[in-house]
Structure 1
Amino acid sequence: MNRKIIHVDMDAFYASVEQLDFPELRGKALAVGGSEERGVIAAASYEARKFGVRSAMSGVMAKKNCPHLIFVKPRFERYKEVSRIIRSVFYEYTDLVEPLALDEAFLDVTENKIGCPSATLIAHEIRMKILERTGLTASAGISINKFLAKIASDYNKPNGQKTIEPDEVIEFLEELEIKKFFGIGKKTADKMYHLGIFTGRDLKTKSVEFLAEHFGKSGQLYYDIVRGISNSPVRPNRTIKSVGTERTFDENLSSEIYIESRIESLVEELSLRLKKQNLAGKTITLKIKYSDFVQQTRSTTVPYFVSDYDIILDLAKSLLYQEKLKDSVRLIGVALSNLNTDEKKKPIAVQLSFDF
């Protein structure tokens, strides 16, 4: 049964807010967060992206790629203020809104408050209202499920939209490059390349047994999504259970000192994500994967909610030195759980069929 799903994604949100509020930054290569000495980038303007600067990149690398890059400190209260205006626009059309962060959300407009039969027209109206009320541009993707809508929203960025009609889904997915599939990261894409999978059409030739053999539990997911099957509903009150980030090293590390510097970068990225989603938590978990692929987790719980970089870093470091490393380390991850989310909220799902 076809639904009408819109994914709205603000264009370079943090950087665009800074350029909106400070005209002298307009047209400049801008990075929000990080610095040329340390830290990671939270967002980059499109002018900076032309030089390969992107979110989650170290400030050192960003400056190397773009010597004239301007760094500004994040102003999360301002971003939240603008985000509230944006979300108010969404609720004029539907209550089925699933925010992913301050700058993006899924909307189910299968049934909507204005009685409009066209999700494409609704997406255009939403983008125009956001521009009128905030001075910022947004892009949108429209299709029959969240997976496709998310992919579509990247197609005509910035300040554009794309609709994947129900009868276009299969052909669109067959022609799509594997690296553009939402949820398939660089490492998975590289593995697929080695298996001769470069496009959706290549993926579609593989049996579910083959995919399960090479990708484990994700095999069934890949088998379904290339056929346009994704039944996850828009969840207005989606409860996030944890937020984390991790890195696999190019070379295995055997010294806690070297690992500690990697943890600093991970915690910086985690702290930015927490602020972006207005989250805090009580349980810090350090994930360690050794060179023999044995995985170990170390956790600690504090009696208060934390999201501050310094506090999380201190806790993560204490977990690192809790006991000696058993072997050289190939992966480190830091996560925060036991979050300040409302566990009582229930997701709402609507699944109807109308002309698209």
Structure 2
Amino acid sequence: MEFDFPLRKIIHVDMDAFYASVEQHDNPELKGKPIAVGGGSKRGVVSAASYEARKFGVRSAMAGYLAKRNCPDLIFVKPRFDRYKEVSQQIRSIFFEYTDLVEPLSLDEAYLDVTENKKGNPSATLIAKEIREKIFERTGLTASAGISINKFIAKVASDYHKPNGQKTVNPEEVVEFLEDLDIRKFYGVGKVTAEKMYRLGIFTGKDLKAKTAEFLEANFGKSGTYYYHVVRGIHHSTVKPHRTPKSVGAERTFSENLSSEILMLERLENIANELERRLKKSKIAGKTITLKIKYSDFTLQTRSKTLPYFISDKALILETAKELLSQAPLQNSVRLLGISLANLNTGHKKNETKENSVSVQLKFEF
């Protein structure tokens, strides 16, 4: 198939069970055992699970007590985020040996554009293999990778042969790959959306492709336009080396549910302190303050206010957060409070030049 847009060579690298793998690497006694990074108490939450634990249905964001119920032999390990950041920086330095077009998504995954690369290697597949080998040599950890013509397909492909594998989707394979794909595998289609698609008779990429843009927009709004394009292999988002944050926030989950507004105000002050620290460190300010409230029954509520000026000062953030807290009666006791700042002063002129294009040859090697 010929594409009427520039083809890129994009790699999505995703570390395998990153936090848990770091813990197993640093403590050989944990190797081969089901472990969860996080808290195992009644209010604890799993941040990451080893593959041995995943066999028992243990997943990230799962309550610790439920994880233990699923896997009685589960070993809980306290998170060491400074260590994870240290290893992540080692991994990232490997990426920069090949290209400066690196877009980190988190500590454990990133996109790389290797269309033109520092090694002069025309094969993105071989580059991905080299990168994974170097990661293992320098950190003792395994990574998986997806390689294709855009970020969307590369990300989907990186899940195909996990753990410690990779998959390349060549330009001529894109259509068949997407048509055969289970709709749940489409990046951006969550559980609720997948269930809605099932009700509409959409189970695979081929089913999705059969729907008109009008039908998808009517049923899924702006996301419908996104689905219409990606199922056709169209995804123009470029690899952005410097991702601009859309919001900065801080939150706390409490060991005991809070019913007293006085206690909540005390906690909000601590949260505002942390948020101010993060804002100052990043030299960022914003206009929209959002208060996040999670109740004891796990229902979530957000309340927001936009100011006419940028703020980063704790006093102003806290004053607005208190105002939002008293905006309406609380529905229940509270297990989590958070404050975030959006509408940031990080805006910059979009690059008006056209994307660096690569002429589409008869054979675009991967």
CA shift digits 1:48-93 (9 cap, x unpaired) = 1111111111112211211211111111111111111101100000
Q: Which residue of 1 aligns with 2:254?
A: none
**Residues 53/296 of structure 1: CA separation in 2 closer, same or farther (3 Å cut):** closer
Residue number among 125, 128, 138 corresponding to 1:123 in the alignment: 128
Shift, 1:174, TM fit: 0.5
Shift, 1:337, TM fit: 2.9
SS of residue paired to 1:149? helix
> Which residues of 2 match residues 189-228 of structure 1 at below 5 A?
189-228=194-233
Native 8 Å contact 1:233 1:350 kept in 2:
no
Using the size of structure 2 for normalisation, the TM-score is 0.77
CA shift digits 1:118-177 (9 cap, x unpaired) = 000000000000000000000000000000000000000000000001000011110100
Native 8 Å contact 2:99 2:117 kept in 1:
yes
Unmatched 5+ residue regions in structure 2? 1-5, 251-257, 295-300
> 2:123 and 2:24 mapped to 1: Cα distance?
33
> Which residues of 2 match residues 120-269 of structure 1 at below 5 A?
120-242=125-247
Native 8 Å contact 2:94 2:135 kept in 1:
yes
CA shift digits 1:222-274 (9 cap, x unpaired) = 100100000000000011212689xxxxxxxxxx96xx99xx9xxx9xx9xxx
1:24 has 2:29 as partner = yes
**Residues 92/342 of structure 1: CA separation in 2 closer, same or farther (3 Å cut):** farther
Which amino acid counterpart does residue 63 of structure 2 have in structure 1? S
> 2:88 and 2:17 mapped to 1: Cα distance?
13
1:297 has 2:307 as partner = no
Native 8 Å contact 1:281 1:336 kept in 2:
no
Q: Which residue of 2 aligns with 1:41?
A: 46
Farther-moved stretch of structure 1 (179-188 vs 319-328): 319-328
Bigger CA radius of gyration: 2
SS of residue paired to 2:117? coil
> 1:280 and 1:58 mapped to 2: Cα distance?
35
Aligned length: 320
Q: Which residue of 2 aligns with 1:337?
A: 341
> 1:61 and 1:281 mapped to 2: Cα distance?
39
Q: Which residue of 1 aligns with 2:253?
A: none
Q: Which residue of 1 aligns with 2:327?
A: 323
SS of residue paired to 2:173? helix
**Residues 279/192 of structure 1: CA separation in 2 closer, same or farther (3 Å cut):** farther
> 1:320 and 1:56 mapped to 2: Cα distance?
27
Shift, 1:9, TM fit: 0.4
> 2:63 and 2:93 mapped to 1: Cα distance?
34
Shift, 1:303, TM fit: 1.5
Which amino acid counterpart does residue 2 of structure 1 have in structure 2? L
> 1:229 and 1:319 mapped to 2: Cα distance?
45
> 1:74 and 1:6 mapped to 2: Cα distance?
28
Farther-moved stretch of structure 1 (25-34 vs 319-328): 319-328
SS of residue paired to 1:231? coil
**Residues 288/350 of structure 1: CA separation in 2 closer, same or farther (3 Å cut):** farther
Q: Which residue of 1 aligns with 2:93?
A: 88
Shift, 1:298, TM fit: 2.8
SS of residue paired to 2:326? coil
Between the aligned residues of both structures, percent identity stands at 63
Native 8 Å contact 2:95 2:131 kept in 1:
yes
Q: Which residue of 2 aligns with 1:355?
A: 365
**Residues 327/103 of structure 1: CA separation in 2 closer, same or farther (3 Å cut):** closer
Native 8 Å contact 1:142 1:152 kept in 2:
yes
Q: Which residue of 2 aligns with 1:71?
A: 76
> 2:339 and 2:210 mapped to 1: Cα distance?
37
Shift, 1:322, TM fit: 1.4
Which amino acid counterpart does residue 70 of structure 1 have in structure 2? I
Native 8 Å contact 1:143 1:163 kept in 2:
yes
> 2:146 and 2:319 mapped to 1: Cα distance?
40
Structure number with greater CO (CA < 8 Å, separation at least 6) is 1
Which amino acid counterpart does residue 49 of structure 2 have in structure 1? A
Q: Which residue of 1 aligns with 2:18?
A: 13
SS of residue paired to 2:303? strand
Farther-moved stretch of structure 1 (78-87 vs 295-304): 295-304
> 1:65 and 1:279 mapped to 2: Cα distance?
41
Q: Which residue of 1 aligns with 2:3?
A: none
SS of residue paired to 1:141? strand
Native 8 Å contact 2:101 2:114 kept in 1:
yes
RMSD: 3.8
SS of residue paired to 1:110? coil
